[in-house]
């Protein structure tokens, strides 16, 4: 069956994809594109006696553009289950990676038709709901990750959280590999941390959000979620890749108004290689469909790898920008799905805040780990420094001048002021 049809004009009913292909050995690009289209939809490696003409005519995909090493494929939306990230991934990012005809393959972008977008409930709160829950307008949320990542007892953890919140952090989260270990049990950490957050709220007059990491196998994930809801937390955190999108969608559907903070640990295992796997942009779009409220997108200036153009594009897509197809970008009309709050995290210290706000604007959360707890005077001074620097940036004031006259900021500036990664 032939799928290449460069005269085909995609319809509003089509799911569109862009793939980057490196054929194996002496394979021809067009032959590989043909095989990819078939394997990801109705075809296989040989002609089929069971291929009904009505199935072929209605459900065949179309390779509608080729510009090596890229090809564009349009799939009829009837091939996909509305509201199911796993089924869509199993189709357009499934068996095709194991084909012998392919040496390298990367899903660069995808675009769902309106009828499929409408099948996803999307974020419960989204960007604006998170801001309402936290009572924060006009500036980014500022937060930290309790460090060291693992090893602190529940009591020690809660005390670090309190110091950070009392110093000015809005949000504090578990790290990606802290769940329920013998040295820090989940239930005790949850209880003590929320008490510490209440203490900080009473002292500062500000809302504070603790993000307990509920990442676990399905039944246990739901059990922890119920504990978090009963305890009165504003937030919950999930490692979206290691949990899997079915777990993320399940969490969203049972979250009952908790803000879902999505950590993307392991994402680079399939996004980092530039000619294989999946783009971080495509991955992020699946997260929005799955219903997270805030998502790590990168920092541009921090310690983590990431292309500036792609990171900013992710930020735009998470915030609801409707972009028309252009070059190797397909954009997405998100319909009624709420925007997601971008999170900049990874090697951030206070003197990168100005650059981060310059790149992203005010609508994001900025997370500093070592950049708070590594302050020479401790966590509270680190949090005060981050908040003072953020406030100065929002007011348009000089951070260098602030460092000259403020003790907390000055000590941090001596340590990190010139560090740009």
Partners of residue 239 on adjacent β-strands: 263
User: Is residue 243 very low, low, confident or very high in pLDDT (cuts 50, 70, 90)?
Assistant: very high
- Look at residue 326 in the predicted model and tell me its pLDDT: 76
pLDDT band at 49 (very low <50, low <70, confident <90, very high): low
Task: For the chain, give the number of residues.
Answer: 421
**In terms of Cα–Cα distance, which of 395, 392, 394 is closest to 403?**
392
Element (H, E) at 381: helix 379-395
How is 11-67 classified by DSSP, letter by letter? -TTEEEEEEEEEESTT--HHHHHHHHHHHTTT--SS--TT--HHHHHHH--EEEEEE
Share of the chain above pLDDT 90, in %: 87
Q: Is there a contact between 82 and 119 (Cβ–Cβ < 8 Å)? A: yes
Specify the CATH class of 14-117 in words. Answer: alpha beta
Per-residue confidence (pLDDT) for residue 344, from 0 to 100: 95
Residues 41, 79: contact at Cβ < 8 Å? yes
Among residues 288, 145, 137, the alpha carbon closest in space to that of 210 is found at 145
Catalytic residue among 173, 208, 263, 319: 263
In the predicted model, is pLDDT for residue 236 greater than 90? yes
Q: Is the pLDDT of residue 315 over 80?
A: yes
Q: What is the predicted pLDDT for the residue at 58?
A: 74
pLDDT in tens, 60-111: 999 999 999 999 999 999 999 999 999 999 999 999 999 999 999 999 999 9
Q: Could you tell me the two tokens for 5?
A: 């049809």
The CATH number of 126-416 is: 3.20.20.110
Q: Which residues contact 61 (CB under 8 A, 6 or more apart)?
A: 3, 37, 38, 40, 41, 42, 73, 74, 75, 76, 79
> Mean pLDDT of all residues in the chain?
94
Question: Where residue 271 falls among pLDDT bands split at 50, 70, 90?
Answer: very high
Q: Give the confidence band of 54 by pLDDT, cuts at 50, 70, 90.
A: low
Question: What percent of the chain lies above the pLDDT cut of 70?
Answer: 95
Cis peptide before 174 (omega within 30 of 0): no
Whole-angstrom CA distances from 301 to 21, 127, 344, 358 are 30, 23, 10, 11
Does the structure show a pLDDT above 90 at 208?
A: yes
User: What is the Cβ-side half-sphere exposure of residue 92, based on CA atoms within 13 angstroms?
Assistant: 31
- The string of pLDDT tens digits covering residues 114-166 is 999 999 999 999 999 999 999 999 999 999 999 999 999 999 999 999 999 99
Categorize the per-residue pLDDT at 297 as very low, low, confident or very high, splitting at 50, 70 and 90.
very high
What's the average model confidence in pLDDT over 212-218? Answer: 97
**More confident position, 355 or 418:** 355
| pLDDT at 367 exceeding the cut of 90 | yes
The burial class, CB within 10 Å (0-12 / 13-18 / 19+), for 220 is middle
Summarised one tens digit per residue, pLDDT across range 382-396 is 999 999 999 999 999
Residue appearing with tokens 């990171």: 311
User: pLDDT band at 306, cuts 50/70/90?
Assistant: confident
Over residues 273-294, the mean pLDDT reads 96
Is 133 annotated in the active site? no
Whole-angstrom distance, CA of residue 343 vs CA of residue 345: 6
pTM confidence score: 0.94
pLDDT (0 to 100) of residue 142: 98
Residue 2 confidence class, pLDDT cut points 50, 70, 90: confident
Mean pLDDT score, 285-291: 98
Q: 191 or 56: which carries more pLDDT confidence? A: 191
pLDDT confidence bin for 50, thresholds 50/70/90: low
Please identify which of the residues 147, 261, 296, 338 carries the catalytic annotation. Answer: 147
Per domain, the residue ranges of the chain are 14-117, 126-416
Whether 405 shows a pLDDT value over 90: the answer reads yes
147 is catalytic: yes
Strand order in the sheet with 70-76: 62-67, 70-76, 14-23, 102-111, 277-278
């Amino acid at each position: 069956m032939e799928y290449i049809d460069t005269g085909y004009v995609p319809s509003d009913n089509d799911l569109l994809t862009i793939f980057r292909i490196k054929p194996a050995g002496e394979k021809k690009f067009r032959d590989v594109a043909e095989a990819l289209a078939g394997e990801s939809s109705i075809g296989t490696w040989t002609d089929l006696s069971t291929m009904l003409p009505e199935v072929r005519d209605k459900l065949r995909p179309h390779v509608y553009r080729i510009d090596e090493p890229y090809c564009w494929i349009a799939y009829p939306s009837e091939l996909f289950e509305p509201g199911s990230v796993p089924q869509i991934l199993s189709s357009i990012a499934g068996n095709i990676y194991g084909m012998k005809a392919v040496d390298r393959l990367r899903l660069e972008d995808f675009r769902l038709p309106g009828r499929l977008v409408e099948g996803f409930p999307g974020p419960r709160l989204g960007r604006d709901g998170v801001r309402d829950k936290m009572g924060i307008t006009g500036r980014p949320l500022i937060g930290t990750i309790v460090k060291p990542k693992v090893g602190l007892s529940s009591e020690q953890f809660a005390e670090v959280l309190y110091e950070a919140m009392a110093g000015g952090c809005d949000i504090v989260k578990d790290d990606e590999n802290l769940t329920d270990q013998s040295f820090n049990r989940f239930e005790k950490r949850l209880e003590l941390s929320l008490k510490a957050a209440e203490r900080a709220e009473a002292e500062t007059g500000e809302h504070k959000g603790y993000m307990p990491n509920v990442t676990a196998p399905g039944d246990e994930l739901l059990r922890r979620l119920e504990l978090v809801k009963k305890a009165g937390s504003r937030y919950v955190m999930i490692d979206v890749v290691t949990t899997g999108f079915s777990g993320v969608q399940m969490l969203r559907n049972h979250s009952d108004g908790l803000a879902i903070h999505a950590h993307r640990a392991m994402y680079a295992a399939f996004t980092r290689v530039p000619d294989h796997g999946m783009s971080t942009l495509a991955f992020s779009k699946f997260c929005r469909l799955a219903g997270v409220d805030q998502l790590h997108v990168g920092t541009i200036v921090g310690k983590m790898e990431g292309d500036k153009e792609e990171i900013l594009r992710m930020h735009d897509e998470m915030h609801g920008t409707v972009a028309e197809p252009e070059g190797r970008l397909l954009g997405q009309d998100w319909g009624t799905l709420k925007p997601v709050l971008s999170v900049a995290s990874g090697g951030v210290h206070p003197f990168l805040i100005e650059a981060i706000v310059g790149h992203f604007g005010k609508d994001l959360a900025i997370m500093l780990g070592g950049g708070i707890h590594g302050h020479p005077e401790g966590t509270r001074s680190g949090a005060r420094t981050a908040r003072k620097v953020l406030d100065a940036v929002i007011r348009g004031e000089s951070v260098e001048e602030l460092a000259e006259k403020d003790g907390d900021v000055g000590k941090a500036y001596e340590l990190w002021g010139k560090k740009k990664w």
